[in-house]
Structure 1
């Protein structure tokens, strides 16, 4: 029963996050980065860094979702911040979005930058 509740909650969370992300994607990203690393390596690093409770406390969350082949999205609870990572040959490009450009969003961007 707990598994069913968890799956339903995740599906509802993904639906809310998706509309927030679609709205943000219709605008210019807050910041764009390039990396010589592959998209999957960068995405996993961002996810791990955003889950660091020592940095983000109770706001520590990072969910990784594969997209089209060679692309990934890492997002926080409620998609307050998210990063689209796309392959560009052996390298990758990261578009970072934040709903509110506050101090937490700046820390998430700084954590993302350590993964490049």
Structure 2
């Protein structure tokens, strides 16, 4: 029963976050970065770094799901920040989106940069 509740909560979060992410993707990413590391390794690293409670406090949430157009997407609660991680000819590309240009967005970008 507990597993079912968790699965339902994640599904609901993904649904709510999905529309915010689709809206953000129509614009320019907050920052675009590249890496020579494999896409899966980078995505898992970003998820792990965004879950660091010492850095992000009680809002240290990060979820990993398959990307809309391949690759992976790592996102926070309500998609306040998310990154699309995809593989292209030059390596792994990261498109980072943030709803606000604030301290938390910059801190998430810094944590993401440690995974490059």
TM-score relative to the length of structure 1: 0.93
Count how many residue pairs are aligned between Structure 1 and Structure 2. Answer: 116
Q: Distance in 2 between matches of 1:18 and 1:69?
A: 13
Return the offset for 1:101: 1.4
Aligned position for 1:101? 101
Q: What are the equivalent positions in structure 2 for 1:1-116 lying under 5 Å apart?
A: 1-67=1-67, 71-89=71-89, 91-116=91-116
Deviation at 1:104, TM superposition (A): 0.6
Rounded to whole Å, the distance in 1 between the matches of 2:78 and 2:4 is 21
Query: Is the contact made by 1:38 and 1:90 (CA closer than 8 Å) also made in structure 2?
Result: no
State the alpha-carbon separation in 2 of the partners of residues 70 and 59 from structure 1.
27
| Structure 2: runs of 5+ lacking an equivalent | none
| Runs (5+) with no aligned partner, structure 1 | none
Please give the secondary structure, in 2, of the residue aligned with 1:106: helix
Secondary structure in structure 2 of the residue aligned to 1:34: strand
When normalised by structure 2's length, the TM-score is: 0.93
- Computed over aligned residues only, the root mean square deviation of the Cα atoms, in angstroms, reads 1.5
